Structure 1
Amino acid sequence: MEQLMVSIICTSYNYEKYIAQALQSFVNQKTNFDYEIIVVDDCSTDNSRSIIEAFRTNFPDKVRVFLNNENKGITKTWISICQEARGKYIARCDADDYWIDKFKLQKQVDLLESHPNSKWCNTNFNIVDEENHVIAEQVFTNGPIKFADTYEKLLATKGMTLPSSWLVESDLMRVVNSEIPDRSIDDTFAIQAELFQRTDLSYLDEVTVAYRMTGNSDSRPKSSKAMERRINGLLETQQYYINKYTNRDMKKMVEIQAEHDAWQELRIFHFNEHIKHLTNRISELEKQLQEVVIISGDQINQLKEQNRVINEKYNSVINSRRWIIPTKIIDFFRRNS
């Protein structure tokens, strides 16, 4: 039996709002080769499983589903599910992201097949919010996230290669998975560090993926404790790899870190300036609003006074003797007409 070219692997945990869009983007791929879609649910407590099962029912020859009986976490789940891949390559996409180029897989397979020294490639991407509104375009070109296209950049900046854009040779991915700690706070950081030791990264400078930034995700949790745990966990991983591969260019890494720190300071400075501008603008608008309220209050009081004066004049006219007599005459004629 001829080997499948690609196994798409999608890991999901409580992503009922997004997973259908991700799965549909996989089904929409146009290729001249066969591929499979592997979906693994890490014991979700929402409606994710029924959505996944519906896709399997609609595409039984394409979709394979694996359901964890307990929540194992992303790292253990990823390491385990990669053993099920039957394709020559593994394409990763997390359930809250989705692909926006119908030829993504075809382009990446063509790229790797034409570069035998490279067993791993990625692409450019856009950032979207929870409602699919684009908030940053061509991110690796324009920012705000740094493209870590070398091992040194990865460790120095904690940048990334965007896992949801990856295409990696399956055998290599399984070797790498055997090297990463299964309790890693972020499996993708360790995977990237190991991949850089074993292959060149090929880059397709085209936007093929929508990377979703939500209010609560693995990379941006709502809980301050969870965020603190993530930051400390990534620091431990950085330190681990600094000591693991001591033959890397440490001087280059320090240079990159220095440049990154300068870039971050500039970002912070510009953010502070923008905040100052917005704060001043808010103060101006509040002052204008208060003036409007005062003016409106004065106008209302003037109108009330005008109304009082007019009412007094009206009543004085109605109750005047000159008006009472004609009124009585008019009433007399009305009664006798």
Structure 2
Amino acid sequence: MRGIMMPLFSVIVPCYNARESIVRCINSLVNQTFQDFEIILIDDCSQDDTYNLIKEYIKDIPLDIKLLRNTHNAGPAYTRNVGIANSRATYVAFCDSDDWYESNYLQLMHNIATNQSADIVFCNSRRVFSNGKHMPLNNIYGIPKNGLVKDILVTGVDSLGSIIVKRHIISKYNIPDLRNGEDMAIIPVLIANSKKFGFVEDNIYNYYYSGDSLSTKVSPQVVDSLIKSFAFIEENLDNHLNRECEYLGVRNVMYGALLNTFKVTYQPSVATNIIKEFETKYPDWSNNQYLNLLPRYKKVFLKLVKKRNFFGIWVMAQMHTVSLKFKLV
């Protein structure tokens, strides 16, 4: 009967060289207290035996599971889009192969989604380090729970693992194929195309931070991806959301891209070009009303950007790297 009825959730799990973590991820789904969901696992042409491991492991699992395989290595965005195209549930949820859900993730998301007829439900998450330490990520703290789209649009939620979204909304878009920042690109677009929102305050998504994952490697390509993520937002937001769009640009470009620029190396000329291009479109960005939502260290960083204090920016970029490494010790 489960195969005939449409499940409430499709949980999409992109996999690449995930033999060390995928069992933990799958087990977190098996142990969900809410069981009306399908699992879509997509192997992105792993170079290890991830595909065969999954194929054997799921044989005796009494859940609705699809195992798909890309014809070529295409990256996480493409792989997630394959999952969306093959989903059939009311809501789409995401879990990366090295991450995992708390056992009540789907139950709590379901409760809010159904009680509030929400198009998107957000939750808090936690960053778990390889040494066992963890840090709560309270992305939805301070968001007005009855807020307008504009209020929700400027949230700090930047991970698809921290949301569920109605399939008919996300199916309208392809998640942009970026090295970094595809979540940051698509989530504001999903918010702008939704009407009702729900929130789970609990930290129920576990984001594993090993220090060497794709999302943590710094390179010029990462900087380029963050800039392109904002370009995707600009292309897909209506003009009446211009100030909100500007704020997202400050977050993605003037903070994210410039931070990573100076993590690569000290390169003020590159930073100057990034700032100049952004200020051509948004000359009044430093007076954006939403900047007060940022934590203090980001406000300090942006003041340095405004003053073109590139040495100060470089120092803060190095401190950011050290602080993350310190948590791995």
Structure-1-length-normalised TM-score:
0.66
Q: Counterpart of 1:164?
A: 161
Contact 1:56/1:64, CA 8 A, preserved across alignment = no
Which of these residues, 223, 226, 251, is aligned with residue 231 of structure 1? Answer: 223
Matches within 5 A, 1:80-99: 80-99=82-101
SS at match of 2:45: coil
Q: Counterpart of 2:212?
A: 216
Contact 2:158/2:183, CA 8 A, preserved across alignment = no
Report the Cα distance in structure 1 between the residues aligned to 2:161 and 2:32, rounded to whole angstroms. 15
SS at match of 1:123: strand
1:248 is the counterpart of 2:250: no
Contact 1:122/1:202, CA 8 A, preserved across alignment = yes
Backbone CA RMSD of aligned residues: 3.3
Report the Cα distance in structure 1 between the residues aligned to 2:178 and 2:300, rounded to whole angstroms. 35
Report the Cα distance in structure 2 between the residues aligned to 1:140 and 1:156, rounded to whole angstroms. 11
Structure 1 unmatched ranges of 5 or more = 143-148, 279-337
1:25 is the counterpart of 2:62: no
Contact 1:91/1:167, CA 8 A, preserved across alignment = yes
1:115 is the counterpart of 2:116: yes
More helix by share: 1
Contact 1:37/1:63, CA 8 A, preserved across alignment = yes
Q: Counterpart of 1:175?
A: 172
Report percent identity of matched pairs.
20
- Report how far residue 96 of structure 1 moved: 1.1
Q: Counterpart of 1:294?
A: none
Structure 2 unmatched ranges of 5 or more = 142-146, 248-287, 302-311, 323-329
- Report how far residue 71 of structure 1 moved: 0.1
1:125 is the counterpart of 2:125: yes
Report the Cα distance in structure 1 between the residues aligned to 2:30 and 2:221, rounded to whole angstroms. 36
The code of the aligned residue for 2:200 comes to L
SS at match of 1:87: coil
Contact 1:112/1:202, CA 8 A, preserved across alignment = yes
Report the Cα distance in structure 2 between the residues aligned to 1:187 and 1:98, rounded to whole angstroms. 20
What per-residue deviation string (whole Å, max 9, x for no partner) do you get for residues 145-170 of structure 1?
A: xxxx997789879x434321321111
Distance 1:150 1:28, change over 3 A: farther
- Report how far residue 29 of structure 1 moved: 0.5
- Report how far residue 44 of structure 1 moved: 0.7
Distance 1:154 1:55, change over 3 A: farther
Report the Cα distance in structure 1 between the residues aligned to 2:16 and 2:151, rounded to whole angstroms. 30
Q: Counterpart of 1:325?
A: none
Distance 1:238 1:122, change over 3 A: same
- Report how far residue 104 of structure 1 moved: 1.4
Report the Cα distance in structure 2 between the residues aligned to 1:53 and 1:35, rounded to whole angstroms. 19
Q: Counterpart of 1:203?
A: 199
Distance 1:238 1:155, change over 3 A: farther
The code of the aligned residue for 2:115 comes to S
Give aligned pairs, total.
Answer: 257
Report the Cα distance in structure 2 between the residues aligned to 1:138 and 1:193, rounded to whole angstroms. 18
What per-residue deviation string (whole Å, max 9, x for no partner) do you get for residues 252-277 of structure 1?
A: 832324663853255899x98xx8xx
Contact 1:108/1:121, CA 8 A, preserved across alignment = yes
- Report how far residue 27 of structure 1 moved: 0.5
- Report how far residue 189 of structure 1 moved: 2.0
Matches within 5 A, 1:239-318: 239-242=231-234, 244-245=236-237, 246-250=239-243, 253=247, 254-257=288-291, 260=294, 262-264=296-298, 266=300
- Report how far residue 173 of structure 1 moved: 1.6
- Report how far residue 176 of structure 1 moved: 3.0
